[in-house]
Amino acid sequence: MKVPPVFDIDTLIDDPDTKIIVCCGSGGVGKTTTAAAVGVRAAERGRDVVVLTVDPARRLAQALGLSELDNTPRAVEGVEGDLYAMMLDMKRTFDEIVEAHADPERAQQILANPFYQSLSSSLSGTQEYMAMEKLGQLHRSGDWDLIVVDTPPSRSALDFLDAPERMGRFLDGRLIKLLMAPAKAGGRFGMKVVTAGFGMFTSVITKVLGGQLIRDMQTFVMAFDTVFGGFRERADQTYRLLQAPGTAFLVVAAPEPDALREASYFVERLAEEHMPMAGLVVNRVHRSDASHLSAVRSQAAAETLEARGSHQLTASLLRLHAERMHITARESRLRESFTSSHPSVPVATVGAMAEDVHDLEGLRAIGNDLAGEATEPAA
């Protein structure tokens, strides 16, 4: 079988043309920790880095030794370099767009509008769209020369690729167009025609949704065209940025069947979207210093000692080693299965650790594994 190319994180982060690294993968595979480890290693190798997580869990803050993360980049202490971290606040990012594209009085009216408050916090796809907005903001600021993005878990991790189209469908929807019609009608005659038609429409829809909701929607939509006219354009710009050579996607998976199937889905979807793929990170891989001692030999030696009734502790250790070797063999077969389907995808492995990573030293150890440097095997 063809051996897959080996992924080396240092080659990626040392390249000054690399501007964005996107970590994606299913839930529970260590994706957030991987993103943090990449950020730490890049900062300590001279890059000015910001790590953006859109995962609502607060594991990134814990791993970086921060008490909390919010929508503002915070400096990470204890790193030999410039490293900042932040967690996407969907609602706050939406508010920032309003404040940036409306005069103060109109912005306040929009922010206080009940329909806006519901839209900005619960509309399907809003989180992914705001992730696109925030990534675009960070890139345009020029404050960092590398942005590491930690995406939401599961298949929604790639929903941000659909954000421009989804937001476009919402903006072009029939309801939005009808609500905008009175403001866009030109001339007295046109206004009379639209108003008559709109009156019939509102009389029907009011019975379904309620008069107050319709008034809130109208008030919001009247300002929608001027304030949010650049939504799709900015999202399209960020989408093209994700396709550019300066962007690299890292798919993170655990050595488990479901996680590697999800990884295959990510790899195939990224190829369809012409997104630059950097490699696969297989996390929490089991290793052993005594891999030369096979599971069969360990099991046989344990049975011999138990039959003699001596060295029970040694026999127990041999059985544990046999079990570990069975696990490593199974994980190796799973990786080979992935590689047979995706032979051109570079692969890196990160060893399983005795406990969850919760500090910078643990993140540095993961970075060493990603760079192919020798590390102590897991207990």
Residue 170 corresponds to which amino acid?
F
What are the backbone dihedrals phi and psi of residue 221, each rounded to the nearest 5 degrees, phi first? Answer: -70, -30
Q: Are 321 and 288 in contact (CB under 8 A)?
A: yes
Q: Give residue 73's pLDDT.
A: 93
Nearest Cα to Cα of residue 351 among 4, 34, 43, 45:
34
Q: Are 305 and 318 in contact (CB under 8 A)?
A: yes
Q: Give residue 188's pLDDT.
A: 45
Q: Give residue 218's pLDDT.
A: 65
What are the distances in angstroms from CA 181 to CA 99, 120, 206? 25, 23, 17
Q: Is the dihedral of CA 341, 345, 346, 348 positive or negative?
A: negative
Nearest Cα to Cα of residue 157 among 35, 47, 68, 43:
35
The rounded distance, in Å, linking the Cα atoms of 77 and 74 is 9
Question: Which distant-in-sequence residues (6+ apart) come within 8 Å of 252 by Cβ?
Answer: 23, 24, 25, 29, 30, 31, 34, 263, 280, 281, 283
Q: Give residue 209's pLDDT.
A: 41
Q: Strand 83-87 vs strand 49-53: parallel, antiparallel, or unpaired?
A: parallel
| Angle ∠(35,239,63) on CA atoms, nearest 5 | 15
Q: Give residue 327's pLDDT.
A: 81
Q: Give residue 183's pLDDT.
A: 46
Q: What is the pTM of this model?
A: 0.81
Q: Give residue 197's pLDDT.
A: 42
Q: Which residues pair with 52 in a beta bridge?
A: 86, 149
Q: Are 28 and 125 in contact (CB under 8 A)?
A: no
- The per-residue pLDDT string of the chain (379 residues; one tens digit each, 9 = 90 and over) reads 456 677 889 999 999 999 999 998 888 888 889 999 999 999 999 999 999 987 766 777 877 878 778 889 999 999 999 999 998 888 888 888 888 878 888 888 888 888 788 777 776 667 777 888 889 899 999 999 999 998 876 556 567 777 766 766 666 655 555 555 554 444 443 334 334 444 444 444 444 444 565 666 666 766 655 666 667 777 788 888 999 999 999 999 999 999 999 899 999 999 998 999 999 999 998 876 666 667 667 777 767 777 777 777 877 777 776 777 778 888 889 999 999 999 999 999 998 887 778 789 999 999 999 998 754 444 3
Q: Which residues pair with 249 in a beta bridge?
A: 22, 277
Q: Give residue 199's pLDDT.
A: 47
Structure-block tokens of residue 242: 């994700």
Question: Which distant-in-sequence residues (6+ apart) come within 8 Å of 280 by Cβ?
Answer: 7, 250, 251, 252, 253, 263, 267, 338, 342, 345, 346, 347, 348
